[in-house]
Amino acid sequence: MRVCLNGAMIDAADARIAPDDRGLLLGDGIFETLAVRGGQARRLAAHLARLRAGAEIIGLALPWTDAALAGFIAAVAADNGLTDAAVRLTVTRGPGPRGLAPPAAAQPTLLIAAAPLPPPPDPARVVIAARTRRNEHSPLARIKSLNYLDNVIARQEAAARGGDDAVLLNSQGRVADSTVANVFALIGGGLVTPPVAEGALPGVMRADVLKLARGEEAPLTPEALAAASEVFLTNSLGIRPVVAVDGTPVGDGAPGLITQLLAARV
């Protein structure tokens, strides 16, 4: 596999990250995952805008232009012979001295890797995470940071309970996100997703689905989620139907019509 490291295309086996890189030691960085289909990066402008917004929140100046980043993404996919790919951009603050204070003149590390675009996943059976919650008051709830341990813990819990994914509640006990996706529910004929203020990540696919389906942002309780006629998850790679929540079927226990129609259009 070939990767892009700080703008250079190299074999993955030759890639080296400095031992004092703050992304490795402190999770000090951000990332984006995007889909490439037919050789074209999907929703690229939105992904790069969110990357820059995340960098601004953590106080990190990105030295690469959008055009340069787009070129790196295209090169990684092409060098790996992929016309359909899942591409991840990881940016860390780069090397730094011991301690939490960032270096005065950070030299960010950029790593871009690609893998074959996976097939659509099977419908999901989700659980409501009990071991951890999402802090909707943290600025990290609004960005794709490298601090994903809450999500890892929740995903472990889901696996232990026979689920495919876990839904994270916020500090008020309302739905925020799943471990890797935004959550949508069809309630009374209307499509609802939790607002960013409730701890939902401002997902790129989420924004498109809201426009396409004229969805509404509104607080969502676990009880409302369990009573929804359809539930689905969205991330940059697509839409995944949810057929059960904590062992209780959603609707008739099969992917719903609205979910299937939206999945075919995005």
91 and 145, same structural domain?
no
Tokens 């529910």 correspond to: 185
213 and 139, same structural domain?
yes
What is the pLDDT, as a whole number, of residue 163?
A: 98
Q: Alpha helices, DSSP H only, in 214-256?
A: 222-227
142 and 261, same structural domain?
yes
What is the pLDDT, as a whole number, of residue 3?
A: 98
Count up the domains in the chain and report the number. Answer: 2
What is the pLDDT, as a whole number, of residue 22?
A: 98
152 and 254, same structural domain?
yes
Structural domain span for residue 71: 2-116
147 and 106, same structural domain?
no
Beta-sheet strand order (sheet of 40-41): 8-11, 2-5, 109-116, 85-92, 29-37, 40-41
Tokens 């935004």 correspond to: 182
140 and 109, same structural domain?
no
247 and 129, same structural domain?
yes
pLDDT per 10-residue tile (average), the chain, 266 residues: 97 96 98 97 98 97 98 98 98 96 95 96 97 97 96 98 98 98 96 98 98 97 97 98 97 96 94
208 and 111, same structural domain?
no
104 and 34, same structural domain?
yes
| CATH at residue 63 | 3.30.470.10
242 and 157, same structural domain?
yes
What is the pLDDT, as a whole number, of residue 31?
A: 98
Q: Given 116, 149, 171, which residue is the final one in a domain?
A: 116
> Distance from first CA to last CA of the chain, Å, rounded?
28
180 and 109, same structural domain?
no
Q: Given 61, 92, 116, which residue is the final one in a domain?
A: 116
Q: Given 116, 143, 170, which residue is the final one in a domain?
A: 116
Q: Are 176 and 132 in contact (CB under 8 A)?
A: no
What is the pLDDT, as a whole number, of residue 218?
A: 98
98 and 20, same structural domain?
yes
The DSSP code sequence of 63-117 is -S-HHHHHHHHHHHHHHTT-SSEEEEEEEE--B--SSSSPPTT---EEEEEEEEP
Distance CA 134, CA 244 (A): 21
What is the pLDDT, as a whole number, of residue 134?
A: 97
Distance CA 241, CA 214 (A): 18
| CATH at residue 131 | 3.20.10.10
Distance CA 74, CA 181 (A): 25
